[in-house]
Amino acid sequence: MNGEGVIHRPVLLEEVVRLLEPKPGMVVVDATVGGGGHAAALLRQVCPGGFLLGIDRDPQAAELAERALVRAGFTRGRHFDIEVRRFSSVDEALARRRISGVDRVLADLGVSSMHLDVAERGFSLKREGPLDMRMDPTDPSLPTAADIVNEASEEELTRIFRDFGEERWARRIARAIVRRRQERPITSTTELREVVAAAIPRKHWPPTIDPATRVFQALRIAVNAELEELDLFLAKLPTILKPSGRAAVISFHSLEDRRVKQVFRELSRECTCPPEWPICRCERKAKWRLITGKPVTASEEEIQMNPRSRSAKLRVVERLA
């Protein structure tokens, strides 16, 4: 299944366009192009004369994005290009095209509707499918979620669920998984969900989310090395963004948002003197400016139309001229 019938709703679309302020002639990178919704809106603002490079590690998403942009009236090669690669290597994609710097960068983290709604991808709690969870299912270097669930030690599973899912019952869940897999391998999403739900005391099930949500999140992050990828991407922003350029990141859980917040704040810091010094001696001048002091979140209207936008947080930073 290729995800063609899945409805893609770009999160915080109006806010992204408003805060990035794209203008005609600009060069834009959509580092997680997904279904192409954000990319199309940004292209409408930078054309004529502008160009957008879309990146996605998922070949299916890249194909869908290209179709969406062509349907929107844009021409590949003239208005945009799409490349299948990890967004942590965005600098390499730009170097291949001899683009020395860009004006705007967007990264919409996490999984798309295509991943969650296509059972065969193995991300969904609601649809039975194989325990895969690879963003790029053709990448042989990535372990599947089934590999981790059935081969990792109890200690390693505990660490994954605790560190990547912030799961209170990480050790109990890991122990339950090890017991179950001794009988037979855990191979489907529904099997894993049942094991996790049974390991958490019923009175401690979260009131608003499935009890296995945090475990599924943790496995997805571990499979795709998502936090490492994000750290690499954020570290490269100063090397790819032009003066007066802006970068926007949409995150969907605290592990991501915490990293984005820390990097953006560090970039925009002026004084680096120890806090106990009464006056500044470093005389450092800020080279970046926070556009969003606090993260921008979805309106109630958007949440009603797209419940997955509830946890989205948008942060924007600008490199000063």
Instruction: Output the CA–CA distances (angstroms, integers) from residue 215 to 35, 91, 97, 203, 218, in the order listed.
Output: 26, 32, 40, 18, 5
The structural domains of the chain, ordered by start, are 13-108+226-319 (3.40.50.150), 127-221 (1.10.150.170)
User: What are the mean pLDDT values of the chain's consecutive 10-residue runs (321 residues total)?
Assistant: 55 96 97 93 95 94 93 94 95 94 94 57 70 87 93 97 95 97 94 94 87 93 94 96 97 94 92 72 80 94 89 96 84
| Axis crossing angle, helix 154-165 with helix 170-183, rounded to the nearest 10 | 140
pLDDT of residue 140: 85
Q: Omega into 275 within 30° of 0, i.e. cis?
A: no
Helix (H) or strand (E) holding 288: strand 288-290
Write b or e for each residue in 230-261: b if 16 or more Cβ atoms lie within 10 A of its Cβ, otherwise e. bebbbebbeebbeeebbbbbbbbbebbbebbb
Which residues fall within 8 angstroms of residue 279, CB to CB, at 6 or more apart? Answer: none
Question: Tell me, what's the pLDDT at 27?
Answer: 97
Can you give the pLDDT at residue 204?
A: 87
| Separation between Cα atoms, residue 119 and residue 3, nearest integer Å | 10
The rounded distance, in Å, linking the Cα atoms of 234 and 232 is 6
pLDDT, position 5: 45
Q: Please tell me the predicted confidence (pLDDT) of residue 214.
A: 93
The sign of the dihedral angle between the CA atoms of 105, 106, 109, 113 is: negative
Mapped onto helix, strand or coil, the DSSP state of residue 27 is: strand
Residue 168 DSSP SS3: coil
Dihedral of CA 223/227/228/230: which sign? Answer: positive
pLDDT value of residue 115: 55
Contact 83, 136 (CB under 8 A): no
Structure token pair of residue 20: 């990035």
